[in-house]
Every structure is written in structure tokens, then in C-alpha cells.
Chains A and B, each alone.
Chain A
Amino acid sequence: MITLENVSKVYPLGKDSAVTAVRELCLQIDLGEFVIIVGRSGSGKTTLLNLSAGLTRPTSGNVIFNGTDLWSLSDKQQSYLRSQNIGFIFQFPSLLPTLTVHENVILPTVFANKVTSDHTPDRAKQLLQQVGLVEKMAAYPRQLSAGQQQRVVIARAMMNHPVVLLADEPTSNLDERTELEIMELFRDLHRSMGITIIMVTHTRQLVSYGTRAVEMAEGRIINGK
């Protein structure tokens, strides 16, 4: 599904300095896996996730998605691939504040050219029902709690029937109870739909929700390759 071959990412900090976020990393993630990547802050987990989705270009190495080298594609092709195949859940509040909950959920269909489909409003409603927020369709993000916003983000991520969900510390801003609710939702999605999930977290206790755990430190995988 996703293969990272000797991938490195170096961020320049100024004229003479740089930080290496990921060092010659090799990782393969297969279809249907629920991979949880753990590590401390600064271990390169988020960079690894971004590299997997083509959100940042590797300094060296290759990122292969379903047999295609991501960086052999044009921006348009890459963006289309992302819209069709990848759902994102971010750490920070990522709903667009000027759109309603419903509009946020159907936003990915605008980029996948699916917005004219008759099924779009039905699917959005169904997804919001699944995350328990159908009554908030007309609300704006500022009218929702952090946990509710994150559930809407999950619904948005599922809108285009993605094959993989990438979640970057999705529960770090939530209280324990809400965190568990979100993790249960992920587990349900993985089990019922067979969707591949790659989740990054610094909370080791969440590792049990996944089918595989990968531990990172200083830009390298130290366990679970």
C-alpha cells in the first residue's frame, strides 16, 4: 500500500543550519493494517505521516503509494490521488471556520469533482449519523466542542471513500473520555470497513487499538519495522 524507501527529510533552518526530521527510513504499510506510530515530540512521527501522503517532498528516497512513486506525479495528479484515496485527521482544529459542519464534510468532494453526484448529501448525512452529529449539520465549528469538531473531521476524512486514513495525534487536545470515544470510532471504522489507518501519537496506551505499533526516535524507526 504505502512504501517508504530510504526516505530522509531535512528542514533548513537558516543559512548554515538544518534539522533532520527523518533519517533514511524504510517502512512498508499494507492494506488493512491499523498502524500506530509512537514516539516523543520531535521524533519525526508527523514528518513520516506527511511524507507518506506527499504533503512534503523527501530530501532523498522514494515514497510509493499503491505502486506509484508520489513524486513522479504532477501537483494536479498528486492532489487528485490524495482526494480519492487519503483521509486526513489533524491534531489541530482543521475545520474551515466559515463553512457549516455539512459544508466541511462535503468539501473533499469539491476537489474530487464529485460534488454534483446525487449521493453527496446522502453520504454526508450518513457519515454524520455514524459519528453522532447529524443534528449539528447546520452549525458552525465555533459552536462545537473540540471532541465534536474532531468527529466531524473524521466524517470529512471518510467522505470520498478513502483507502487509508492518516491521523496525526487526533486525540492530543481531547479529554480522556473523548479520546477513548474517538479511538473506538477508529477501531469501528477499521473493523467494519477494513480501512487502513496510520495514526501518530505520543500516548503509548493507545497502541493496543492498532494491529501494529511502530516506535520512532530521532528520525529513525527503533521498533516494529
Chain B
Amino acid sequence: MNIFHLALKNISGNSFRSGVVALCAFLVAAFALTTTLLMRGAENSLRLAIDRLGADIVVVPSGSEAKVESALLMGVPARIWMPQNNVNIIANLSGIEAASPQLYLATLTGASCCSVSDMFMIAFDPATDFTIQPWLKQNLGDDLRLGEVVGGSYISATEGDQNIRIYGYLVTLKANLEPTGTGLDQSMFFTFTTAQDIARKSVTQAEEPLEIPPDSISAVLVKAQPGVDLYDLSAQIVRVVPDVTPILSSDMFQSYRTQMTGLLKTILVIMGITWGLSVVLIGLVFSMAANERRKELGVVRAIGATRQFVFQSLLMEASLLAVLGGVTGIGLAVLFVFLFKKLIVVSLGFPFLLPSPSVLIFQIFIGMLLALFSVNLAALFPAIRISRQDPAVAMRE
């Protein structure tokens, strides 16, 4: 028998009290982990989305910045147009390494000719593209042919093994991109040629035709030469190309960042209040327990326990309860975030991606440390008080 054994016995001797302390530890750990998971997850997701874009600057029609961000981040389809010639003007500017146009399209809502409703689609020009092509070369070893598409991580074939119907046109899903936690996971990518082919055939095959205004594009992705000042480059673009807004990738999704920061600040405040209340409640419970067990602890001192032993045994009980509550809280938090990540994205309105296993383990470790620290902090003063008490006084009525 040792201090650990004694602590376990004391914990199981009063289930209600132990349950309250464990519950507080549960809340602290679960809340802390959920918050850090959301924060890191959202940040990860944004970073991956920007990396996936691959561009230093995205040039879009003026006034459509919010729509573009919504489309790329949340998969809400955007239909925006600007003259195709803009890409030529931009490509000729000094400091530009590459400029590639993209078309933003969407499937029909609830139509039988589209097997996926309201899906955001991006068409790219293989001749100038520098974002999708490198991935294709690395992962498929080949370019996309007519009628072939790559999908985000959520896209799957709905017609047979490999096909998806868009505007009555069967495309072949060649591969899926890695997840980003953003709307890009529910998007499809194909070439301009495929887009034009779908548009042509949709006139007869679809409930409504896919309309691509002639000589129009939705956005221009720009890669700057190394060392070029992107703000200067943006200013140049605005000077020479009318009615467009260049968005720097570092500024991309700024409105979402602001929204995220605001929401996370709120969550942090709630977490702070929960933590404070938990520590106070645990302190009260331990104080009550110490008072109730005053005589018992006096006896233990009388038969040879040192003050240090009494102090350590109370903190051992606190730590065991912290571990019990913390492990349960963390387990449930991870399970909840993992299972409900789609609901979280939709409810909060910003993207989310689970962190890598090593980052997750680190966050779990921090969550557990916080639970241990909180419970021990709360139990500290009652433990000091009761361990210092005169055994004779402790045993008195």
C-alpha cells in the first residue's frame, strides 16, 4: 500500500465529490483542446487554401472579392466575369513570371442533369496554368484530357465507378486532391476545353445551358518574379487594367480571418470564465473534503504520517481526478471535433482542417497539463491548510 493506493481509495470512497472535481477537469481540458483545435485547424485550412491557389496575386473583377473568397473558402459558387484580354495585359507587365486565367462555374441546383447540386467548379488554361498542372504532373504523370476532371477530397463518382454528370455531360474523375478543409475540397477542376465542350453540349443535354460569356474569364492568377514587391505590382495592375481588384494571397481571406479572430476571442473569454469557475468550484470541493476528513487526517498524522505525506496525498487525489476528467474530456473533444468537423465549418462559417498527428498529440498534452495545473492549483490551499493543522486540533469535536 502506498500514497497512490490511498488516493485511489479516497477517490472511490466519495463518488459525488470525485465526480464534481473530475467533471471540472473534464470541462477545462475539453474546452481548452476544442479551442486550440479550432484555432489551429482554421489557420491550417487557410494556409493550405492559399498554398493550393499557388498564386501571389489573384486578380478579380472589382466588387467581387467577397464572392471569390466565399467560393474558394466555403465552396459557395461564384459567377463573375471580366474580359479575357486582361490576362494578356497582365502577363506583359514587368515583374510578372506567369499569369493564368480561370473560369468559375457552378452546377445547377437540384437538376437531374447534374449529379451534384450547386458545386463550385474551376476551369483552368493548361497552357499557362501553374497551380494545378504541377500537381497533375506529380500525381497523375499526365495532363487532363477532354472530359477528365480532378476533384477536391470530398468529390466522388456518382455515375458508375468514375463518372460524374454535369449539365448532362459525363466527366471522368481522374483523381482527388489532398484535403484543405475549405470549399476547395468540394470543388472540381478541369480544362478550358472541357468547360467549353460542356457548355456547347448543355444546350441540348441539360435542363439549363451552361453559359460562359464569350471572351470572358473570372480571375487571373499571377505569379510574381522573385524579389518583386507585390504591392507595387498590384498598383501597376490597377493602373493598366480597368475595373479589377488584385488580392494579395497574404491578404486573401482577410474578412474570414477577422471573423475567426472575433469568434475565437469570444471562445477564449468563455473558456477563461469556465476555467476560473472550475478552479473556484474545485477549491470549494477540496475545502469541504478537507474539513470533512479533518479527523481522519488528524488520525493519519497521529499514527505517523508527516505533513508532507498528507499534503502529497491530497494533491495525488487531485491529480488522479484531473487525469480521469482530463482524459475523458480530451477523448470526447477529439472525437467530437473529428466527427462533426463538417458541421463546425458550416456553423462557424470558416474552414477547418484537423491538425497532423504530431500537432494533435502536442495539443492533447497541453490540454492535460492545463487540467492537471488547474485542479492542483485549486487543491493547493486546502491541502496546505489541512496538512499544517495540529493533529490534536484536527481530531477535536
Which residues of A, 44-88, contact B by the 8 Å Cβ criterion? 47, 50, 53, 55-57, 75-76, 79-80, 82-84, 88
- Mark contacts of B120-159 with chain A using CB atoms, 8 A cut-off: 1 yes-contact digit, 0 otherwise: 0000000000000000000000000000000000000000
Alpha-carbon distance A98/B6, docked complex (angstroms): 9
Alpha-carbon distance A75/B305, docked complex (angstroms): 9
B305 and A88 form a contact (CB under 8 A): no
A98 and B304 form a contact (CB under 8 A): no
- Most A CB atoms within 10 A — which of B10, B307, B391, B392? B392
Alpha-carbon distance A87/B300, docked complex (angstroms): 12
Q: How far is the CB of B331 from chain A (nearest CB, A)?
A: 27
Instruction: Given A76-B306, A79-B306, A98-B12, verify A110-B392 contact (CB < 8 Å).
Output: no
Q: Which of A47, A84, A96, A160 contacts B300 (CB 8 A)?
A: A96
Q: Which of A56, A57, A80, A97 contacts B304 (CB 8 A)?
A: A80
Alpha-carbon distance A76/B312, docked complex (angstroms): 14
Task: Find the A residue at minimum CB distance from B295.
Answer: A92
Asked if A222 is at the interface of the complex by the 8 Å CB criterion, the answer is no
Asked if A147 is at the interface of the complex by the 8 Å CB criterion, the answer is no
Which residues of B, 269-316, contact A by the 8 Å Cβ criterion? 295-296, 299-309
Task: Find the B residue at minimum CB distance from A166.
Answer: B302
Alpha-carbon distance A90/B299, docked complex (angstroms): 9
Which B residues are in CB contact (< 8 Å) with A83? 303-304
B390 and A55 form a contact (CB under 8 A): yes
Alpha-carbon distance A90/B305, docked complex (angstroms): 16
Q: Which of A47, A79, A90, A110 contacts B2 (CB 8 A)?
A: A110
Task: Find the A residue at minimum CB distance from B393.
Answer: A56
Which B residues are in CB contact (< 8 Å) with A94? 295-296, 299
B13 and A98 form a contact (CB under 8 A): yes
B392 and A107 form a contact (CB under 8 A): no
B1 and A98 form a contact (CB under 8 A): no
Q: How far is the CB of A73 from chain B (nearest CB, A)?
A: 12
B306 and A108 form a contact (CB under 8 A): no
B303 and A111 form a contact (CB under 8 A): yes
Asked if B201 is at the interface of the complex by the 8 Å CB criterion, the answer is no
Task: Find the A residue at minimum CB distance from B388.
Answer: A75
Instruction: Given A76-B308, A83-B303, A96-B300, verify A57-B1 contact (CB < 8 Å).
Output: no
Which B residues are in CB contact (< 8 Å) with A10? none
B391 and A108 form a contact (CB under 8 A): no
Asked if B170 is at the interface of the complex by the 8 Å CB criterion, the answer is no
Asked if A115 is at the interface of the complex by the 8 Å CB criterion, the answer is yes
- Mark contacts of B377-397 with chain A using CB atoms, 8 A cut-off: 1 yes-contact digit, 0 otherwise: 000000000000011110100
Asked if A24 is at the interface of the complex by the 8 Å CB criterion, the answer is no
Which B residues are in CB contact (< 8 Å) with A111? 303-306, 309
Q: How far is the CB of A2 from chain B (nearest CB, A)?
A: 15
B1 and A106 form a contact (CB under 8 A): yes
B392 and A82 form a contact (CB under 8 A): no
Asked if B200 is at the interface of the complex by the 8 Å CB criterion, the answer is no
Alpha-carbon distance A92/B394, docked complex (angstroms): 13
Q: Which of A55, A76, A115 contacts B1 (CB 8 A)?
A: A115
Asked if B342 is at the interface of the complex by the 8 Å CB criterion, the answer is no
Asked if A99 is at the interface of the complex by the 8 Å CB criterion, the answer is yes
Asked if A31 is at the interface of the complex by the 8 Å CB criterion, the answer is no
Which A residues are in CB contact (< 8 Å) with B296? 94, 96-97
Asked if A156 is at the interface of the complex by the 8 Å CB criterion, the answer is yes
Task: Find the B residue at minimum CB distance from A140.
Answer: B13
Asked if B265 is at the interface of the complex by the 8 Å CB criterion, the answer is no
Q: How far is the CB of A149 from chain B (nearest CB, A)?
A: 13
B1 and A103 form a contact (CB under 8 A): yes
Q: How far is the CB of A62 from chain B (nearest CB, A)?
A: 17
A98 and B10 form a contact (CB under 8 A): yes
Which A residues are in CB contact (< 8 Å) with B6? 99, 110
Which A residues are in CB contact (< 8 Å) with B1? 103, 106-107, 110, 115
Instruction: Given A92-B295, A107-B1, verify A82-B390 contact (CB < 8 Å).
Output: no
Alpha-carbon distance A53/B3, docked complex (angstroms): 24
Which B residues are in CB contact (< 8 Å) with A55? 301-302, 390-392, 395
Which A residues are in CB contact (< 8 Å) with B12? 98
Alpha-carbon distance A215/B391, docked complex (angstroms): 25
Which A residues are in CB contact (< 8 Å) with B295? 92, 94
Alpha-carbon distance A88/B302, docked complex (angstroms): 7
Q: How far is the CB of A75 from chain B (nearest CB, A)?
A: 5
Which residues of B, 1-45, contact A by the 8 Å Cβ criterion? 1-3, 6, 9-10, 12-13
Which B residues are in CB contact (< 8 Å) with A160? 304
Alpha-carbon distance A112/B295, docked complex (angstroms): 21
- Mark contacts of B89-123 with chain A using CB atoms, 8 A cut-off: 1 yes-contact digit, 0 otherwise: 00000000000000000000000000000000000
Q: How far is the CB of A193 from chain B (nearest CB, A)?
A: 19
- Most A CB atoms within 10 A — which of B2, B6, B300, B395? B395
State the 10 A-B residue pairs at the shortest beta-carbon distance, nearest first.
A83-B304, A111-B304, A98-B13, A56-B392, A50-B392, A55-B392, A98-B9, A79-B306, A55-B391, A94-B299
Further 10 A-B residue pairs, CB within 8 A, beyond A56-B393, A107-B1, A111-B304: A55-B395, A82-B303, A83-B304, A88-B303, A94-B296, A97-B13, A98-B13, A107-B303, A110-B305, A156-B303
* 18 A-B pairs in the complex with CB atoms less than 8 angstroms apart: A55-B302, A56-B390, A75-B308, A79-B307, A80-B306, A82-B302, A88-B303, A92-B395, A94-B299, A96-B299, A96-B300, A98-B10, A98-B12, A98-B13, A99-B9, A107-B1, A107-B300, A108-B304
